[in-house]
């Protein structure tokens, strides 16, 4: 007889497999992002792209040479962050520019990246237009507060790099000869390969730690602790069930909320309330420790990764708590 694999062990192995897949997908994207960032600066493409995102750059007092990653972040966040990492590695920007660029584009990331890929295929069919629309607006509200923070932070602080970035024309003025493409490509490939190697080593160390923590059940304990906290609240049992499910899987939480609404066992308000509480729990138990921090730590220095996650927590949680209170009180 074949030996049956326990369900808990099966879930742990699945999570470890997802971590390995995360590494396999991210490493080539780091190389592509670093190569694209270097080529964009050397060949002068950044100056042309700056016109499209200049309102955002001006609002946050960001330099023009950040136009490429700022424009790419909403389209493919992983490549955009790889570009920022490449610029940080070259000393063209500092932590301030990375933080401002990351939070500045978050509403656009939701509109361009998450709505068509996650909310439209899942949230609207499961929840209906009203609840799904309100839920998306709440997520946009959270990201908009981060955007406002980034603009205020950018305008109140100076450039991290005192000597300023390289010229967008590749380092020379109008009298300089046009850069040789083969030479630029060769140097860009060498730089991207060197950066990718360093990022890969750091990434593997982070993922190895996460795999060990997952196998030992540390994240499962966090999920159980957060879910048990809900038992001390005055929320209805159906809302707690949606929130606890969403804390594990946002898609499963939406499906459960939709099924309960179809059976008329909960109201629109209770469904939205459960999803918002679940979103808060999901961020604490999964998004920050298993997604955001590992990604940032594999791309940026550890200190900067901590800053990005800490700022996210300090902004997200109060805004989500305010939204939860508003839904509970006024809807």
Report whether 85 contacts 300 (CB < 8 A): yes
- 3 domain residue, yes or no: no
Q: Tell whether the model's pLDDT for residue 163 goes beyond 50.
A: no
- 1 domain residue, yes or no: no
Residues spanned by the domain of 83: 9-170+181-330
pLDDT tens by residue, 287-322 = 888 788 888 988 899 999 999 999 999 999 999 999
- What b/e sequence results for 16-33 when a residue is b if at least 16 CB atoms lie within 10 Å of its CB, and e otherwise? beebeebbeebbebbbbb
**How many folded domains does the chain comprise?**
1
- What b/e sequence results for 121-147 when a residue is b if at least 16 CB atoms lie within 10 Å of its CB, and e otherwise? ebbbebbbeebbebbbebbbebbebbb
pLDDT tens by residue, 238-253 = 888 888 888 777 878 8
User: Is residue 136 very low, low, confident or very high in pLDDT (cuts 50, 70, 90)?
Assistant: very high
Q: Tell whether the model's pLDDT for residue 149 goes beyond 90.
A: yes
**Which segments within 25-107 are labelled E, that is strand?**
none
- 56 domain residue, yes or no: yes
**Which tokens sit at 47?**
């100056």
**Which tokens sit at 261?**
């609404």
- 326 domain residue, yes or no: yes
Q: Tell whether the model's pLDDT for residue 150 goes beyond 60.
A: yes
Q: Tell whether the model's pLDDT for residue 122 goes beyond 60.
A: yes
**Which segments within the chain are labelled E, that is strand?**
none
- The Cα 191–Cα 198 span in angstroms is 11
**Which tokens sit at 96?**
């301030």
**Which tokens sit at 30?**
């780091």
- 61 domain residue, yes or no: yes
pTM: 0.71
- 141 domain residue, yes or no: yes
Q: Tell whether the model's pLDDT for residue 2 goes beyond 60.
A: no
- 312 domain residue, yes or no: yes
**Which tokens sit at 323?**
């939204």
Report whether 208 contacts 20 (CB < 8 A): no
Report whether 98 contacts 304 (CB < 8 A): yes
Residue 137's pLDDT is: 94
- 129 domain residue, yes or no: yes
């Amino acid at each position: 007889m074949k030996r049956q694999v326990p369900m808990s062990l099966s879930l742990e192995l699945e999570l470890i497999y997802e971590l390995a897949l995360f590494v396999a997908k991210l490493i080539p994207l780091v190389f592509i992002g670093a190569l694209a960032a270097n080529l964009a600066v050397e060949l002068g493409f950044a100056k042309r792209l700056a016109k499209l995102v200049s309102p955002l750059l001006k609002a946050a007092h960001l330099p023009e040479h950040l136009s490429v990653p700022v424009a790419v972040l909403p389209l493919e966040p992983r490549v955009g962050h790889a570009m920022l990492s490449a610029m940080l590695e070259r000393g063209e920007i500092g932590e301030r520019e990375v933080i401002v660029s990351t939070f500045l584009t978050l509403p656009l990331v939701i509109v361009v990246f998450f709505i068509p890929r996650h909310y439209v295929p899942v949230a609207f069919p499961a929840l209906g237009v009203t609840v799904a629309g309100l839920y998306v607006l709440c997520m946009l509200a959270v990201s908009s507060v981060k955007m406002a923070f980034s603009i205020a932070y950018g305008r109140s602080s100076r450039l991290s790099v005192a000597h300023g970035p390289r010229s967008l024309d590749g380092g020379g003025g109008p009298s300089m000869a046009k850069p040789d493409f083969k030479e630029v490509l060769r140097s860009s490939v060498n730089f991207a390969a060197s950066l990718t190697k360093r990022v890969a080593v750091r990434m593997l160390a982070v993922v190895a730690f996460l795999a060990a923590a997952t196998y030992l059940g540390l994240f499962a304990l966090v999920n159980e602790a957060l879910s048990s906290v809900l038992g001390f609240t005055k929320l209805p049992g159906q809302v707690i069930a949606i929130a606890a499910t969403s804390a594990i899987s946002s898609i499963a939480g939406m499906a459960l909320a939709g099924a309960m609404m179809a059976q008329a066992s909960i109201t629109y308000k209770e469904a939205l309330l459960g999803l918002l509480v679940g979103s808060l729990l999901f961020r604490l138990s999964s998004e920050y420790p298993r997604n955001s921090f590992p990604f940032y730590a594999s791309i940026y220095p550890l200190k900067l990764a901590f800053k990005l996650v800490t700022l996210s927590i300090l902004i997200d949680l109060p805004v989500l708590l305010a939204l939860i209170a508003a839904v509970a009180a006024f809807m």
